[in-house]
Structure 1
């Protein structure tokens, strides 16, 4: 069964800690007092449940939306300014991600400060719950460093005045902390949990592999990924096309996801990301031509290769199956059974230019868009996957390539993904150089993990954003009579300044609250 979140309980406990003593003389009836909580094993489990809502959810699409493979569909959204390189420390997207991450860190710190008050002889349970909290806290710090670089490292509960004097710890210090935490947490976590969605040993090790890769600590990344692989706990799901469907929830590939329940704890992924024609959907962030063109032909050749068989007049035929599994393209079946036709001349609700809510590129995300949510687009129960086995395989391969430890296991890790049962791309040619394999694994990350919230972190750590995040934004190419026309987003140019844009600015509000917070270079 899924975790039943009790976030209000944990918030209530945090709020109570600052109350004056005379207010605690009576037990409040609108929250649980710390005087009567933290007594039993059940208290510990319920409190741990309250840590999970701080995990990322549909916000991963906003983070993905400001990369080369996506476009902010409504230009008045705050993320559009990030695309155009005109954002500043007042932009609400960095503020939202900062606030959300430190909220999760505060909840974990509060939990770890109180869990030992529980009266039990079940030390294994307490150790497991601590391991979950430490992993969830490490998850937030991994994201914070990827977005902001140096940030305050807070590992205990603090008061308001302490919060006004926090200084930024170096990224290296935070990576040291994160990797140590995840190593120790993994030792206290089980390979599987009865409640779906809870942190496992595999989740801690997979997150360690991700963090070490982002930190450039490739041997640690390879070792952590290898530990996940050798555990034999996970396997690639047979169908990439169905990987993000309700039927595939909690499948063998999922290592960590955020669990949702329709009507109880739901998300709005269909409403925010689905095709405009599908009732309440409005294409908030849409795929770009850069992403669509990156998918090779089914024979493995790039569409720019004259021998690939690519037909510009029939551009989606015989392509890597992950293209149509990930993105709605012209001619695809929509959840309501109609055909997707975004051509400006199509006369459909999805036609480019029909409304500012319709896709501006002619492409729409297909991952997570399920027909079960057609009539309730703002009330979806689909889980959002945050870590899956395919990423672990690619992390292992990339780390080994960067270490120049290229062997059969590197090829095997990549080929497993390329040759998934419903993908079946040709196996890689052997004997590739380190530089060639680096290009291969980076492209596989792009294709396999598109719109899963990782692209921004990848193009930052690879230092490729200065090349991919500049210039005009393009969409679909379509036939207009005998002519082929390519959509270009009107009056929109991306700008990326490598002197500043590889990190987001520290939010201005945070610096006003805490004068000790310095600003990132260039901001």
Structure 2
């Protein structure tokens, strides 16, 4: 099959053209899937529908872009769940729930319906198509179980009346189901695929490793991750920044990108507004999402030390002598930014800044400084660079959203083995691959020989490597640090160029030191800040959406939200 998946226009036209005749001729009382999925082509169309549903499209952006901005490392233009002022009626909760169960229902419908055509399709093809649907279903359940806890578990299509009699399965039972599903599915999938955008064995095992890590099943996580490392033939892209540009993604050096949400040139509506939504106001962007100081200060200095312990870090020149990933993740004072084939200097302190015009740098009005929704007046002085400054027109960008890449597999393996206190050369080698690309020295022996110090370093690495990729919301909950990082203000850069905030304190407590949590209380008056967030123990998981409780009286609310 020579298809690219995830195209909304494609699935609409495919389903309509494939089903039109059936819809005209079959009685309404007959189940669609019982008659439809009798050939490989029809099964493939159904699978395209399942893939398409993984596009959690919200305003032409993948919904997962919000997740890290709901944490301490990011902030949204408007109030969100991050502020803690939400309940079961909050729209974000029902949005996630609906997106996830749409995929689950489509996968269940396909898996059940394709049984009618099993004898007409080669067994290996049948098993592969079914396995892809099962992995996509597991992908949705992973979101549900770690965001909501106990949720309804369905492996068959729901009948109309089933919607009103749902009950919850335990988180433990669902995770056991997912392990089994992913193991069996991996057995039917190859390590590589001919069509970009499709799942393979590495993604199935990578998802199992992620679920196991989040659930504290470290031996399971390490084994699954190691299998990918040993057999999938993957490596890191030498250029970190290339991962988040369309040209870099097309090349996919090292095959680092394992699972992506793709956009098509063939469909005018298939566009991604991530660059538009977080880009510079000076270059046509709308700057609606911003990184925080805590993220900036998580990146090490080039001597491999956290900034409070580094001899080369200078708070007056915070972008110098830093982890290379910082400049590809966060836009800082004085950075040259490129957007829509134009260049400007990012400046958070002055009413004008420099723009490249006809080969000359000229001074013009600085909208990043003056606009009410810009990074100074609405954010905390920074812009997101990741996914933003690529080689496209930001109003019709088609840069892929990455669901999984090899860097995560390396970090999962390293963390799982560290939590098992099985730190050996394979662990330090996995981390050093990432550090080498970032321009950082190898892990010191004094760190690798100490489980707590290695844990601290891996958590720092994970935050720097995966920022804005949808992991931080889950990480701060499984590490049990959300209560330390979420309450209070979101801090940013120094308010003025002439009054530079000092290096923050990371050692106000043992747990804050371990988790690289900077404290900004001593520099409150001189830093940009936003919000005044609240966090309660019940915020470790979301409540079941009220709309679902109203629909199915058999569902019960999570205990802390009752």
Per the normalisation by structure 1, the TM-score is 0.90
Give the whole-Å Cα distance in 2 for the aligned partners of 1:94 and 1:140.
Answer: 14
Give the whole-Å Cα distance in 2 for the aligned partners of 1:128 and 1:20.
Answer: 30
Deviations 1:259-301 (A, max 9, x none): 112461222111222222221x222221000000111111112
Give the whole-Å Cα distance in 2 for the aligned partners of 1:98 and 1:249.
Answer: 29
Q: Residue 460 of structure 1 aligns with which residue?
A: 477
Deviations 1:415-462 (A, max 9, x none): 111112xx2201111143111111111111100000000110111111
With over 3 angstroms needed to count, the CA separation of the structure-2 counterparts of 1:394 and 1:59, relative to structure 1, is same
Q: Residue 539 of structure 2 aligns with which residue?
A: 501
Contact 1:341 1:350 in 2 (8 A): no
Q: Residue 273 of structure 2 aligns with which residue?
A: 268
Q: Residue 428 of structure 2 aligns with which residue?
A: 411
Work out which of the residue numbers 324, 336, 342 in structure 2 matches 1:321.
324
State the shift of 1:381 in Å. 1.2
Give the whole-Å Cα distance in 2 for the aligned partners of 1:171 and 1:162.
Answer: 21
State the shift of 1:147 in Å. 0.7
Aligned counterparts, 1:296-311, within 5 A:
296-305=300-309, 307-311=310-314
Give the whole-Å Cα distance in 1 for the aligned partners of 2:121 and 2:432.
Answer: 48
Give the whole-Å Cα distance in 2 for the aligned partners of 1:15 and 1:457.
Answer: 42
Contact 2:336 2:343 in 1 (8 A): yes
Contact 2:315 2:500 in 1 (8 A): no
2:128 aligned counterpart, secondary structure: helix
Give the whole-Å Cα distance in 2 for the aligned partners of 1:316 and 1:478.
Answer: 16
Q: Residue 28 of structure 1 aligns with which residue?
A: none
State the shift of 1:155 in Å. 0.7
Q: Residue 369 of structure 1 aligns with which residue?
A: 388
Q: Residue 488 of structure 2 aligns with which residue?
A: 471
Give the whole-Å Cα distance in 1 for the aligned partners of 2:11 and 2:412.
Answer: 33
With over 3 angstroms needed to count, the CA separation of the structure-2 counterparts of 1:430 and 1:134, relative to structure 1, is same
With over 3 angstroms needed to count, the CA separation of the structure-2 counterparts of 1:482 and 1:266, relative to structure 1, is closer
Deviations 1:150-186 (A, max 9, x none): 1100110011211211111111001001111000000
State the shift of 1:15 in Å. 12
State the shift of 1:241 in Å. 2.0
Contact 1:418 1:424 in 2 (8 A): yes
Give the whole-Å Cα distance in 1 for the aligned partners of 2:91 and 2:67.
Answer: 12
With over 3 angstroms needed to count, the CA separation of the structure-2 counterparts of 1:111 and 1:15, relative to structure 1, is farther
Work out which of the residue numbers 481, 484, 487 in structure 1 matches 2:527.
487
State the shift of 1:473 in Å. 1.2
State the shift of 1:19 in Å. 12
Contact 2:330 2:385 in 1 (8 A): yes
Q: Residue 554 of structure 2 aligns with which residue?
A: 516
Q: Residue 4 of structure 2 aligns with which residue?
A: 3
Contact 2:500 2:526 in 1 (8 A): no
Aligned length: 504
Q: Residue 72 of structure 1 aligns with which residue?
A: 76
With over 3 angstroms needed to count, the CA separation of the structure-2 counterparts of 1:124 and 1:140, relative to structure 1, is same
1:175 aligned counterpart, secondary structure: helix
State the shift of 1:13 in Å. 9.5
Give the whole-Å Cα distance in 2 for the aligned partners of 1:288 and 1:214.
Answer: 24
Give the whole-Å Cα distance in 1 for the aligned partners of 2:72 and 2:126.
Answer: 44
Aligned counterparts, 1:165-204, within 5 A:
165-204=165-204
Contact 2:278 2:287 in 1 (8 A): yes
State the shift of 1:480 in Å. 3.5
Q: Over aligned residues, Cα RMSD in angstroms? A: 2.6
Contact 2:257 2:404 in 1 (8 A): yes
The answer on 1:338 being equivalent to 2:344 is yes
Contiguous gaps of at least 5 residues in structure 1: 26-31
1:323 aligned counterpart, secondary structure: helix
The answer on 1:53 being equivalent to 2:58 is no
Give the whole-Å Cα distance in 1 for the aligned partners of 2:558 and 2:17.
Answer: 34
Per the normalisation by structure 2, the TM-score is 0.84
Q: Residue 518 of structure 2 aligns with which residue?
A: none
Contiguous gaps of at least 5 residues in structure 2: 57-61, 354-364, 502-524
State the shift of 1:23 in Å. 4.4
Give the whole-Å Cα distance in 2 for the aligned partners of 1:10 and 1:399.
Answer: 42
The answer on 1:105 being equivalent to 2:104 is yes
